[in-house]
């Protein structure tokens, strides 16, 4: 389940907590598009615990559209749960 909270103090911070899937994208798109034009929007992703591939694609589009994120680059995980950026290889080598 995804929990979305919003706070505004000059900029709008939308905090996402829990699991995010394709079924949450339209709600988040609606929330983002409802904000006043020109306001900085920050997506706080620190408390996301699981994100499916559709949600990863959406978050990358948000980043490309100049929305700011507090978590850095979103990286999909493989079926084994390891990030696809080399963590799996380091784990196999004991690093």
CA–CA distances in Å: residue 71 to residues 10, 38, 53, 54: 20, 22, 17, 18
Residue linked to tokens 């080399």? 86
What pLDDT digit, counting tens, does each position of 2-18 carry?
999 999 988 899 999 99
pLDDT at res. 65: 81
Contact 74, 56 (CB under 8 A): yes
Looking up residue 82, the CATH number of its domain turns out to be 3.30.750
Tokens representing residue 58 in the block: 């959406």
User: What pLDDT, on a 0 to 100 scale, did the predictor assign at position 23?
Assistant: 97
| Enclosing domain of residue 30 | 2-92
pTM of the predicted model as reported, rounded to 2 decimal places: 0.69
Ordered per-residue pLDDT tens for the chain, 95 residues = 999 999 998 889 999 999 999 999 999 999 999 987 888 889 999 999 999 999 999 998 988 887 777 765 444 443 444 443 333 333 344 44
Query: How many distinct structural domains can be found in the chain?
Result: 1
């Amino acid at each position: 389940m995804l929990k979305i909270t919003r706070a505004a103090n000059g900029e709008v911070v939308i905090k996402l907590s829990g699991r995010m899937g394709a079924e949450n994208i339209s709600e988040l798109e609606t929330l983002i598009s409802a904000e006043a034009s020109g306001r900085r929007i920050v997506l706080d992703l620190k408390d996301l615990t699981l994100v499916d591939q559709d949600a990863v694609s959406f978050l990358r589009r948000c980043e490309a559209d100049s929305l700011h994120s507090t978590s850095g680059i979103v990286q999909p995980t493989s079926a084994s749960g390891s990030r696809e950026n080399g963590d799996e290889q380091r784990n196999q080598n004991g690093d």
